[in-house]
């Protein structure tokens, strides 16, 4: 990827303020993505993902393929994490589901120069790929399998317009207790803060959280459009 890509992170307001003050984002651990169901328990923490079919986008009727996928999950979970973003901030359903019912805050970033950034691919059915026919348990993971495990989801999730950045744990991220965080940098630059329609955080508090940032960060207030099913900028401000 060349240049930069504008992406958006939907968060409850307190999490967003904490991230602004600490200059960092929480990294989603892949055990929450690739092992979302353990005895039908679905993980739903702030950085996790909640789709029980996500690691099963492939037709896994073959016992051999299930074993290959299981090994891939274990390897990936120990090595990588994810940052999850959306390509836009105007979708009201995203504000409802991830922006604490419009009381939250969206952080806009310029994401720069990383081959680890991927747009999600959405599919309507679980595919059987003949490319996997020659693989055996213990074989080295190939790029095609990684693409299907990490960057493919069911079409029902396409409204998220998701963009993911793969993070190498303990190299690009830092551990704080049981969590991992990645610091803001030239490759992850905060450029915009959008307060939700029902967000009660004063503009002055957001400005205070932004103290010390070397470059200006735009602060805007959101409102519901009167003409479309979109969330738009409130020109009246806060």
Residue 67 has a pLDDT of 74
- Cα 111 from Cα 113, distance rounded (Å): 7
For the chain, the domains span 4-233
Which helix (H) or strand (E) segment is 86 a member of? strand 80-86
Give the CA-trace dihedral at 103, 119, 140, 174, to 10 degrees: -40
Residue 104 has a pLDDT of 98
Provide the residue-wise pLDDT of the chain in tens; the chain has 238 residues: 457 899 999 999 999 999 999 999 999 887 666 544 443 333 333 344 445 444 455 555 567 666 776 777 777 778 888 899 999 999 999 999 999 999 999 999 999 866 789 899 888 877 665 555 566 555 555 556 666 778 888 888 899 999 999 898 988 899 998 889 999 998 999 999 999 999 999 999 999 999 999 999 999 999 999 999 999 999 999 9
CB 129 within 8 A of CB 81: no
Quickly tell me which residue has 């969206």 as its tokens.
Answer: 106
Transcribe 112-148 into DSSP letters: ES-TTEEE-EEESSPBP-GGGTT--TTSPP-HHHHHH
Residue 124 has a pLDDT of 85
CA atoms within 13 A on the CB side of 103: 6
Residue 38 has a pLDDT of 45
Which helix (H) or strand (E) segment is 32 a member of? helix 31-34
Residue 143 has a pLDDT of 59
CB 118 within 8 A of CB 151: yes
Beta bridge partners of residue 185, listed in sequence order: 188
Nearest CA among 10, 60, 53 for reference residue 33: 53
């Amino acid at each position: 990827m060349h240049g930069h890509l504008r992406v958006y992170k939907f968060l409850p307001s307190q999490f967003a303020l904490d991230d602004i003050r600490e200059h960092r984002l929480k990294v989603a651990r892949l055990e929450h993505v690739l092992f979302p169901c353990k005895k039908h328990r679905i993980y739903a923490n702030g950085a996790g993902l909640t789709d029980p079919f996500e690691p099963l986008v492939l037709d896994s009727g073959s016992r051999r393929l299930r074993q290959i996928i299981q090994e891939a999950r274990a390897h990936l979970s120990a090595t990588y994490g994810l940052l999850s973003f959306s390509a836009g901030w105007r979708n009201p359903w995203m504000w409802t589901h991830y922006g604490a019912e419009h009381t939250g805050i969206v952080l806009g970033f310029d994401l720069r120069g990383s081959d680890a950034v991927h747009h999600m691919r959405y599919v309507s059915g679980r595919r059987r790929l003949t490319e996997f026919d020659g693989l055996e348990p213990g074989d080295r993971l190939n790029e095609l399998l990684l693409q299907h495990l990490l960057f493919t989801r069911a079409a029902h999730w396409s409204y998220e317009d998701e963009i993911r950045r793969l993070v190498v744990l303990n190299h690009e991220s830092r551990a704080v207790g049981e969590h991992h965080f990645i610091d803001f940098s030239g490759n992850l630059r905060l450029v915009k803060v959008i307060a939700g329609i029902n967000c009660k955080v004063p503009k002055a508090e957001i400005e205070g959280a932004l103290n010390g940032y070397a470059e200006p960060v735009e602060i805007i207030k959101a409102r519901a459009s009167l003409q479309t099913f979109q969330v738009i900028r409130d020109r009246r401000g806060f």
